[in-house]
Every structure is written in C-alpha cells, then in structure tokens.
Amino acid sequence: MAADQIPSDPAQYWPDTPAPGWLTDEERQASLDGILAERDGPIWIFGYGSLLWRPAFQSVESRLATLTGYHRRFCLVMRRFRGTEECPGLMLGLDRGGLCRGMAFRLDDVTVDEDLKGLWRREMVTGGYRPRWVKLKTPLGPLRGITFVANRANERYLKPHSLDYAAEMIAGACGPVGSNAEYLHATHEHLLGLGINDRGLASLDKLVREKCAAIKR
C-alpha cells in the first residue's frame, strides 16, 4: 500500500474488542482534556514521523521546527497495523536526549476540536506515547506546541538497540496497513524533501532496503 493510500485513522483496523493495554475512549478523552487544560494560544502540533506525510488534520500554517531534548528513534514495538504478534515491527517515537528537526503545524481554530479528537484517536491507541507541550525553535521565532514522546514506562517501549536489530524487525514486519519498511521509507523521503538530514534514519533506511532486497531474492 502506497503512503498516499494509507488511512489516517487506524480505527478501521481495530478488532471488535480492544487488545490488552489499549486506551479506552474515556482514557483517551481524559488525556486530551489534560493537554487542553494547559492551552494558552493557537494549537501547534510538532510532527516528526508519519504526521509529516499523512497528517490527521488540515493545518493553516506550517514551519520547519527544532525540538531540543529529544531525538527521533524507532523505539516502540508495533504488533498491529504494520506488524503482527508473530512478526512485530517498530514505530517512531521521541526518546530522551539530543534534538529532532521536523515540522510544526498550526491547527485551524474553527476545526481544532475535531482535529484534536482525530489526532488522539490515531496516536493514542495505547499508552506507548505521552502527549507533551514542548518549546520549538522555528525560523520565525519560538513557539509552544504539542507532540507525542515515547512512554518509557510502557511495555511497548524498546530500550536503545543496535541499528541491525532495528533493521531486522522493520524489514520483516507487515500488517493490514502495509509494511513497516514503507513507513520508514516514506518518513525518510519526506524529511529529505524538507531539507532535513537525519543521518541515523538515513543509515537505517539504507540497511532496511538492503535487507528487504535480500528477502525478495
């Protein structure tokens, strides 16, 4: 499945009964309410992974942005959507340390409530992420935005691992939404299109392509 065909709402792939560890609608709403209680202006969302190429909202403004204190890493085990219980893949998260360059998107005040509900439904399927207000640097000055960082206390969190270990998981994983490799490739390609060079992601992308080619032989 191509990146532009991937549904922005993964709910259609949820089983009738949520898997253990998945958030209830009430828990998801409580999380969103908690974030909105700290709102003090326009809502900006910091995208660093699939939100760059498959956002769950319509933005009215976007800016290149840098977040310090976190870096982009495949650190959440994925057993659905782009992986299975038998062959899990990995999802991107923001892990502690370093910095991350991505995009800040400003939501429309008219549709912000529905946009945020859709975003929470997509990103807060489990407790793998923690939504946070963060300070972002942009070419037009600093701003405050919301992003989703990896929850190190969650069972899906994978401690720092080797590049080869990550590549093996990503190259072999596939689910109803598509392959894990497509997720990596689309993110890397969109970062390059924005002029963002993530050397770690570039190395992982190259290694996964090599492993995928070897699997097809």
Q: Which residues are catalytic?
A: 123
> What's the half-sphere exposure (Cβ side, CA atoms, 13 Å) at 168?
5
Nearest to 35 by CA among 119, 146, 136, 124: 146
Which regions of 56-193 does DSSP assign to beta strands (E)? Answer: 59-78, 89-107, 129-136, 143-150, 174-175, 178-179
Q: Helix or strand or coil: residue 184?
A: helix
Q: Do residues 104 and 63 make contact, with C-beta atoms less than 8 angstroms apart? A: yes
